[in-house]
Structure 1
Amino acid sequence: MEFSAVVLDLDGTYLNGSKEVSARNLAAVIECHRRGMGIVFATARPPRAVKWFLPEELLGIGSFVYYNGAQVVCTLSRAEWHESIPVALTADILDYCAANYSGGHLSMEVRDEWYSLKELDYSAVMNARANPVVKPIEELKEYEATKILLTNIEDPQALIPLFGRQVNILVTDNGTVVQIMPKQASKEGAVSELCRRRGIDMKSVIVFGDDHNDIGLFQTCGYSVAMGNAIKELKELADETTAANDEDGVARVLERFF
């Protein structure tokens, strides 16, 4: 099979359990780039985290879909765009979460700046190298959120009938993380626009993923590969399932096409 681009999720997919890119996975993607394929990293992570985890040689050759599509940067075409949740809607969501999930952890991303209502240590839970800046809720309600994050809460599905028509709500990481993004933001929408700008047919794109936020990509890309550690729903959609992220599952597939 001939592919024009490869799309890679990071956590649970291209990164191993230690949040590192293995030598084999690195070599495979470098070879794809050498052969003229477009390289797209599509992640829920913010820009700063991608810089933490990816080797320097990958940062200069890829296009980057951050926050599940709310922010996009293409290194090669120099294209860049950003989506956000309107101020009034951000305030409504923050008020509801503060009132109904007082025992949970609420934080908010605003264009690569991270804020929360209280001191939180995400170094172990989310492999973050810096924790959010604490600000009062009234100040947070003045921002247009790029993404709102909830962890350690019960019944996250209750948010969907309340706000699901206005924002994009994803429950990931085995139900432990709720990610609230702008309604128009999605990995598949961002990748489709990147491909359109670069003249790449989505049918010629191969995608790798492991979680709920990759489902849209699996439905729109030409060929989809679920990781061995992926959720059941993704494996059922995939054209094939490869080895787990700790077993170089990405490289094992890409090497077949060289």
Structure 2
Amino acid sequence: MVKLIVSDMDGTLLNEKMQISIANASAIREAEKRGIPFVVATGRGYTEAKPLLEEVELNCPIITLNGAQVYDEHGTILKTAGIDKATARKILTIIRENNLYCEITTGKGIFSDNRAKRIESVASLLFETNPDTTYKMAVVLAAARLEIMNIHYIDNYDKLIEDETIDVLKIIAFSQDGAKTLNPISAELNMIGDLAITSSFENNIEINHIEAQKGIAVRELADRMDIDLEDVMTFGDNINDLSMLEITGYSFAMENGAEEAKRVARYLTSSNSENGVAEGISLIFNDRLEEKLNVN
């Protein structure tokens, strides 16, 4: 019996326009009316995720930055698992040596040192995941969506790292070459130790503390709510979702998801552009889960 629903955002709850569809929002509200709490588990920071939920009048706990921070529905921080400054410096050195653009999420928000690169990285994401969208339109959509997010633009990350009042929670690096460039860098970063290296799209790697994982955060929230993991429904599409898909009883991979997600999920659902989250939730209401059982 499903007692808790947890969903990733990008590529899962968000559609091709980086919005929560009316269908998905309605299904979530119906679940809540039936006494099933809803939680978001995202690689985004709080200031990136919260406005997208507010657009459709949803208010729920949010697991952010792959589990580096967890917030209750009132915006109170329940957990923080950051990267120590010495490790952050090592990560930045490797990223710079490979000439990659990166962003740093901290306890005081998200920081970028290049606005154009940030728009380019989001536009590439939209273009690659939505074949019907031209790159020019993807740039327009990316710029428009980023306007509602609280991003801090700075000239240099070194001062940010040196600031002892700021906690580094996640570093995300981008490459349009995808795995060809990012896999060797991931291997090098793993040599540092005590890091969780994941990905939410083919063009990025997301670097967190080893304790900052969605699966760990979901387990802790479920324990707090006195809910067994076998009674938790999760939705995800990529590598940073694996840790929660692997441990929950009703795990769903999106049709548009990475093969790794599809291999570990117990069920499959439609793509993010076809309201896959709403479809999965409706299955539990109508006792039709067997229709989407993953037979791979």
**Is TM more than 0.5 here?**
yes
CA contact (8 A) 2:25 2:56 kept: no
RMSD: 2.1
Q: Is the aligned partner of 1:219 residue 2:246?
A: yes
Q: Aligned partner of 2:184: which letter? A: A
Alignment match of 1:142 (pick from 152, 156, 162): 162
Q: Aligned partner of 1:38: which letter? A: P
CA contact (8 A) 1:109 1:145 kept: yes
Q: Which residue does the alignment assign to 1:11? A: 10
C-alpha displacement at 1:71, in angstroms? Answer: 0.6
- Structure 2, unmatched stretches of 5+, are 123-141, 286-296
CA contact (8 A) 2:186 2:205 kept: no
Alignment partner of 2:83: what SS? coil
Alignment partner of 1:224: what SS? strand
Alignment partner of 2:71: what SS? strand
CA contact (8 A) 1:208 1:250 kept: yes
CA contact (8 A) 2:11 2:256 kept: yes
Sequence identity percentage:
27
Q: Deviations over 1:18-72 (max 9, x none)?
A: 0111111111000111111121100001111112212356543x11000000010
TM-score normalised by the chain length of structure 1? 0.90
Q: Which residue does the alignment assign to 1:239? A: 266
Alignment partner of 1:173: what SS? coil
Q: Which residue does the alignment assign to 1:41? A: 40
Structure 1 or 2: larger helix share?
A: 2
Q: Is the aligned partner of 1:101 residue 2:98?
A: yes
Q: Aligned partner of 1:200: which letter? A: I
Q: Deviations over 1:137-179 (max 9, x none)?
A: 43133154111111126622233343322211113312x1111
Q: Which residue does the alignment assign to 2:256? A: 229
TM-score normalised by the chain length of structure 2? 0.79
Q: Deviations over 1:223-244 (max 9, x none)?
A: 1111110111211222121111
Alignment match of 2:207 (pick from 157, 164, 180): 180
- Structure 1, unmatched stretches of 5+, are none
CA contact (8 A) 2:3 2:231 kept: yes
Q: Which residue does the alignment assign to 1:123? A: 119
CA contact (8 A) 1:227 1:249 kept: yes
CA contact (8 A) 1:12 1:210 kept: yes
1:207, 1:218 → 2: CA distance? Answer: 6
Alignment partner of 1:199: what SS? coil
1:53, 1:190 → 2: CA distance? Answer: 21
Alignment partner of 1:220: what SS? coil
